[in-house]
Structure 1
């Protein structure tokens, strides 16, 4: 198991999400035993959802076990109003939000998760009953990128029974989550039903072979989609996307859906899940037909018909949801999951969106925005990165504007199309 873990240690500093359950406790101990990373650079993150009695004690248990191993740990508590419906789904979204924020604040790019083979099979069945396509069915992978953080699941092809044998042999302690016995949750019903199949002799490894074949097909579709993106899709400075009308004539339907979903992910990367397929299908129907309706929104993205193109950009009403970040001169920092930004020197200021006030400043400096970024909708320009010192615009790097010639802002665009 240590070899399985070591395969995925690619950075000098990592974070591990540990709930106190069997899988994450095994993962924490594997990290501690690894020779590929210094234990001082392992961050143990414990999320207390504060949804039930005992959650605080479980978080403290993990912290104590981490301390015994000499690992630094932190407990992050989900604050605010708790849901009365879709509890697991909402908790999962909040959990990842807390995990990603911690990683960004501590300059950690690799987040390790303890999902195992049983989880992968369970997720496949769960999503199948939800009507997911091939992307959803194969969503549990050993390596993926979300919110500019590498999500790594080194145990994804190892069964829970193997982890149990290892934990008992190594005398690893863990806690049982009582919600795993709650049959009000669909996932628990599926888990119990699957256990009956396993007890009857069904082979998890054969199920895994089928999932991996589907993953291979999914990768092939992505490869094909890239050629259609290069022909018919233009990404303009990561502030808007234009789709030509030929795209709808010459691109297969499955590829159309996949590309539109990825466009939405560009402008609303914090959403854990893509909009439902039926909503994408209806949106594509609107794109293809003549209609008096010139604009629609979906998943935080605005779709506008203009001449023979469809223009896509971030909804203006969502700009206030973008978290400002401090700018650094030592390393690139991610802003809005669309840009990596770094300065050549320290100065007061935060990276936020340009907005209407920033556009006013640029116009007062005789910067022709429409000439600089041809055909860019003004609402899309609002979403471009800018450095502000309180209400004073310091720089708008996409428009080569900076009030101080000694300050150089370096910017890189993050690609999300595939």
Structure 2
């Protein structure tokens, strides 16, 4: 294989350093440690593997997940294994313990994939697990979430750095375009495969990708940059919400005095209080999730009216909100 351009490797090292700095909450890092690379065999993840191997010789391990959903999956994993052997990168093939089935197959496959990769990364004791999400992925995710009326946390889209259990998950290619990653792999002469699901119109992402391609006025790199700015704003607000929670939450029987805070902070703290009380009181019905709509409850509390939601009754007092378990509904 042909060596990668020195400029591309230097760019990757800079992006990786920024990811580590963000993940560890510091201004900068001089050295990055041992990394694990998730490689599916597609051009994006193969580019990530080539860049990591060139930038961090001897400090890279790789893994491929065969979901057992396509007959070609095992062959693709074997192709990645052979490529890793040529690069001198240890490689692991990961397979789900149970077949992936049911509705929302892509979501279930993604959940299984991350569970396997996080477990593998912990066993390998890598300093970070790298995935090949890039600017086009970021732009598509942002548009999908805008179409679902997502809040700020959702519009932050794919995070450049986040913790998954004890593992630091980094996406160092979020400023790279899909086309340039593919060109990098082709110029190197490395093998790769195109996943047929990427062009399957049954998937939301595929339709958004086609719509984005049909509108050249929309710049995926600019959309990805906007998602990055939104992620920075989300981090600031999340820290503010965490501080307010530690200052004001004293349990459901003590007033939660946050009525004067901006609505976004009230929204987050109210949702957190509901989760905390339901867990403490073992309330499972009605269902409540992070995506549940609490705007009517916020409206009622803002108007200084008590209201019932998610099995709880919230009372408005001068000193703050008081939470009670809602009485059972009467049968007619």
In the superposition, the TM-score normalised over structure 1's length comes to 0.60
Distance 1:50 1:281 in 2: 42
Distance 1:204 1:97 in 2: 29
RMSD, matched Cα: 3.4
Matched, 1:215 2:231: yes
Instruction: Tell me what 1:278 maps to.
Output: 292
Instruction: Tell me what 1:252 maps to.
Output: 262
Residue 76 of structure 1: CA displacement?
A: 0.6
Instruction: Tell me what 1:19 maps to.
Output: 40
Instruction: Tell me what 1:167 maps to.
Output: 185
Matches for 1:11-410 after TM superposition, within 5 Å:
11-34=32-55, 37-39=56-58, 41-198=59-216, 202-233=218-249, 244-259=254-269, 275-281=289-295, 289=306
Distance 2:264 2:253 in 1: 16
CA separation of 1:277 and 1:244: change in aligned 2, threshold 3 A? farther
Matched, 1:2 2:9: yes
- Secondary structure of the 1:56 match is helix
Distance 2:44 2:310 in 1: 51
Distance 2:309 2:151 in 1: 31
Distance 2:310 2:135 in 1: 47
Distance 2:253 2:92 in 1: 45
Distance 1:194 1:254 in 2: 30
Distance 2:230 2:269 in 1: 19
Distance 1:165 1:178 in 2: 19
Contact in 1 for aligned 2:138/2:223 (Cα 8 Å): no
Distance 1:222 1:293 in 2: 23
- Secondary structure of the 1:43 match is strand
Contact in 2 for aligned 1:242/1:310 (Cα 8 Å): yes
Residue 4 of structure 1: CA displacement?
A: 3.2
Distance 2:294 2:85 in 1: 48
- Secondary structure of the 2:163 match is strand
Residue 194 of structure 1: CA displacement?
A: 1.1
Of Structure 1 and Structure 2, the greater strand share is in 1
Distance 1:292 1:172 in 2: 56
Instruction: Tell me what 2:283 maps to.
Output: none
Distance 1:87 1:218 in 2: 29
Contact in 2 for aligned 1:243/1:309 (Cα 8 Å): yes
Contact in 2 for aligned 1:14/1:110 (Cα 8 Å): yes
Residue 122 of structure 1: CA displacement?
A: 0.5
Instruction: Tell me what 1:320 maps to.
Output: none
Of Structure 1 and Structure 2, the greater helix share is in 2
In the superposition, the TM-score normalised over structure 2's length comes to 0.74
CA separation of 1:292 and 1:16: change in aligned 2, threshold 3 A? closer
Residue segments in structure 1 that go unaligned for 5+ positions in a row: 235-240, 269-273, 297-302, 312-418
Contact in 1 for aligned 2:136/2:221 (Cα 8 Å): no
Distance 2:222 2:95 in 1: 39
Q: Deviations over 1:293-352 (max 9, x none)?
A: 9769xxxxxx9xxxx8669xxxxxxxxxxxxxxxxxxxxxxxxxxxxxxxxxxxxxxxxx
